[in-house]
Structure 1
Amino acid sequence: MKPAHKPLQFSVLENDTLLPFLAKVFHGKSRTGLKQMLQNGRVSVDGKVVSRHDFELNSGMVVVIGKPASKPSVSIPGIKILYEDDSIIAIDKPAGLLTVGTEKEKLNTAYSLLSHYVKTENKSNKIFIVHRLDRDTSGVLVFARSTMERDILQEYWHNENHEREYAALVCGKVDEPKGRIESWLKENANLQVFSSMRPDDGQHAITNWELVQQNDDFSLLKVTPETGRRNQIRVHLCDIGFPIVGDRRYGNGQNPIGRLGLHATLLSFVHPQSGKVMQFESPVPGSFIRMVK
């Protein structure tokens, strides 16, 4: 009988960043090997799984190296898998790919591609929708592996018991370093969402934003929604006069990057089985950054 796997625990004695810290405690291990350890979900800091190699460590933090919780990052047609275990799958969805099917498109969706992927391992495997990203929005998207996990995660979403961050490339030069947008969202007969300033006249929606970088023509914002309404970020940024680049529905159609300038950069929530805080990240697309240099 094999001995049980015991996690390795290290105390941080001085401020550092994660990859150099790991290089010190695993002397001789290659940078590639250390990064693979991060990608496989083996590293947690103060109880939170961390995948970023440049994560900042402060004195007093505790770094734990556990058993691999997922397969290495795998690429399948149209999708990059960030993490998977028996309960969840986190992916980096590209722009232009639907989350789930429509009457016109049923096969080329994140759901369909992932369903095929899990069935290659076992034909009885299934995945379940937890939340969605618009077709033209890219970034972190999570699916459940069972109805029980789906129900738990959807309850988190319903109660806003999770954290989300987005990168938004908007038209124009914003004149404030940060802001908060609050309104009540409604839909018209064409299913277009719009804001009402009358309390309770629609679904309450709150969006926080912070300026990251800008030039005279475009601004890159970090957006943190407090609520998760349909098209919320797109409508709210248009409301304050800075529509998202490439937004033909709510913006002015200006599109120098050939896609919608909205990307889900971070998603954090409590794992439905282990109780650990899971955090998944996707870097800001290079096309966004180039537009504000």
Structure 2
Amino acid sequence: MKNKGGRIFVNHKQRHFNFQLHDGDEMLIVLNAEEPSDLIKPMTGSVDVIFEDDYLLVVNKPPGIASLPAKARDSKTMANLVKAYLISKKENSTIHLVTRLDRDTSGLMVFAKTSYAHSLLDQILHTEDFQKFYLAMIYGHMEPASGLIDLPIGIDPDAFYKRAIDHQVGKKSQTVYKTVENYDNGSLLELKLLTGRTHQIRVHLSAVGHPIIGDDMYSQKIDPRIHRQALHCYNLQIVHPVTKELLNLKAPLPQDMVILKSVLRGERNG
């Protein structure tokens, strides 16, 4: 704030940042304007907005699109689409990505509209005030049907872009799971993240012997029934950091996972 044009008013008078406050003083903080980075180019396209106010933007990401641009890619990402969306509304188009999803994972993603809102959300990101729930379709049945996967995750020594269970230097990683429906050769799980490691759900389910259907990176097999991992962030329960309202946000299961579920049910029935 101090170096970028922010201002502080105490009892309706503008004051310097070293002004001594007293009980009962009324303070107004005017945040500095943000200058959007040129690193993320605006690209027009469809943005499925689930929730929006002055502080947050929650969107439903389709599968097959990355969250942020990679250095070597010029392809369209959610960050590019959201930037164009914010520009079209004549709002601050600085990208503040709070939660990200893998390219082939679908579902709810959270963007903050200001650095202030971003900071507030980061403070609650891995607490009960910010709960993330996923649906996944896996090979086999979990035993027990619900529980906690508590296995540390580190970088795969054989491939930097993959993750693996690492009991020596891996970071603490916890995933709560619950079986929603069993099929002959698979299951539908609801999963809740207690930590936020890269590929966490995919690595954890693979490690316990039940990789996600379609996740060829961690299952080591191509599945013709779906062309990506069957993983979807379907529910966010967030205590709004400013209004303190509980946001219970949902994104419906995408078409490819709906079809897969029907196929799995059909296999069970016949």
Q: TM-score, normalised by structure 1?
A: 0.69
Cα 1:237/1:102, change in 2 over 3 Å = same
Q: Any conservation in 2 of the 1:131–1:154 contact (CA below 8 Å)? A: no
Counterpart check, 1:92 vs 2:60: yes
**Per-residue CA shift, 1:104-142, capped at 9, x if unaligned?**
334511111011011012165433111211111100111
**Per-residue CA shift, 1:178-215, capped at 9, x if unaligned?**
122111111134222111346xx321011111111122
Q: Any conservation in 1 of the 2:68–2:77 contact (CA below 8 Å)? A: yes
* Residue in structure 2 matched with residue 282 of structure 1 by the alignment: 251
Q: Any conservation in 2 of the 1:213–1:221 contact (CA below 8 Å)? A: yes
Cα 1:172/1:202, change in 2 over 3 Å = same
Q: Aligned partners of 2:249, 2:92: CA distance in 1, in Å?
A: 27
Counterpart check, 1:167 vs 2:132: no
Counterpart check, 1:185 vs 2:119: no
- Which of 160, 166, 173 is the matching residue for 1:196? 166
Structure 2 counterpart SS, 1:250: helix
* Residue in structure 2 matched with residue 37 of structure 1 by the alignment: none
Q: Aligned partners of 1:124, 1:162: CA distance in 2, in Å?
A: 24
**Per-residue CA shift, 1:213-253, capped at 9, x if unaligned?**
12222211111121111111001100111101111221132
Give, in angstroms, the shift of residue 174 of structure 1. Answer: 3.5
Q: Any conservation in 2 of the 1:220–1:288 contact (CA below 8 Å)? A: no
* Residue in structure 2 matched with residue 137 of structure 1 by the alignment: 105
Q: TM-score, normalised by structure 2?
A: 0.74
* Residue in structure 1 matched with residue 190 of structure 2 by the alignment: 222
* Residue in structure 2 matched with residue 207 of structure 1 by the alignment: 175
Counterpart check, 1:267 vs 2:239: no
Q: Aligned partners of 1:254, 1:180: CA distance in 2, in Å?
A: 28
Q: Any conservation in 1 of the 2:177–2:192 contact (CA below 8 Å)? A: yes
Query: In the alignment, residue 273 of structure 1 is paired with which amino acid?
Result: V
Q: Aligned partners of 1:114, 1:237: CA distance in 2, in Å?
A: 31
Q: Any conservation in 2 of the 1:268–1:280 contact (CA below 8 Å)? A: yes
Q: Aligned partners of 2:222, 2:192: CA distance in 1, in Å?
A: 24
Identity level (%) = 29
Q: Any conservation in 1 of the 2:129–2:237 contact (CA below 8 Å)? A: no
Q: Aligned partners of 2:154, 2:183: CA distance in 1, in Å?
A: 33
Q: Any conservation in 2 of the 1:185–1:195 contact (CA below 8 Å)? A: yes
Q: Pairwise CA RMSD of aligned residues?
A: 1.9
- Which of 232, 235, 250 is the matching residue for 2:203? 235
Query: In the alignment, residue 90 of structure 1 is paired with which amino acid?
Result: V
- Tell me which structure has the larger Cα radius of gyration: 2
Q: Aligned partners of 2:74, 2:114: CA distance in 1, in Å?
A: 21
Q: Any conservation in 1 of the 2:92–2:114 contact (CA below 8 Å)? A: no
Consecutive unaligned residues of structure 2, counting only runs of 5 or more, are 1-43, 266-270
Q: Aligned partners of 2:240, 2:91: CA distance in 1, in Å?
A: 25
- Which of 88, 113, 123 is the matching residue for 1:120? 88
Q: Any conservation in 1 of the 2:59–2:108 contact (CA below 8 Å)? A: yes
Structure 1 counterpart SS, 2:58: strand
Give, in angstroms, the shift of residue 175 of structure 1. Answer: 4.4
Q: Any conservation in 1 of the 2:181–2:189 contact (CA below 8 Å)? A: yes
Q: Aligned partners of 2:84, 2:236: CA distance in 1, in Å?
A: 24
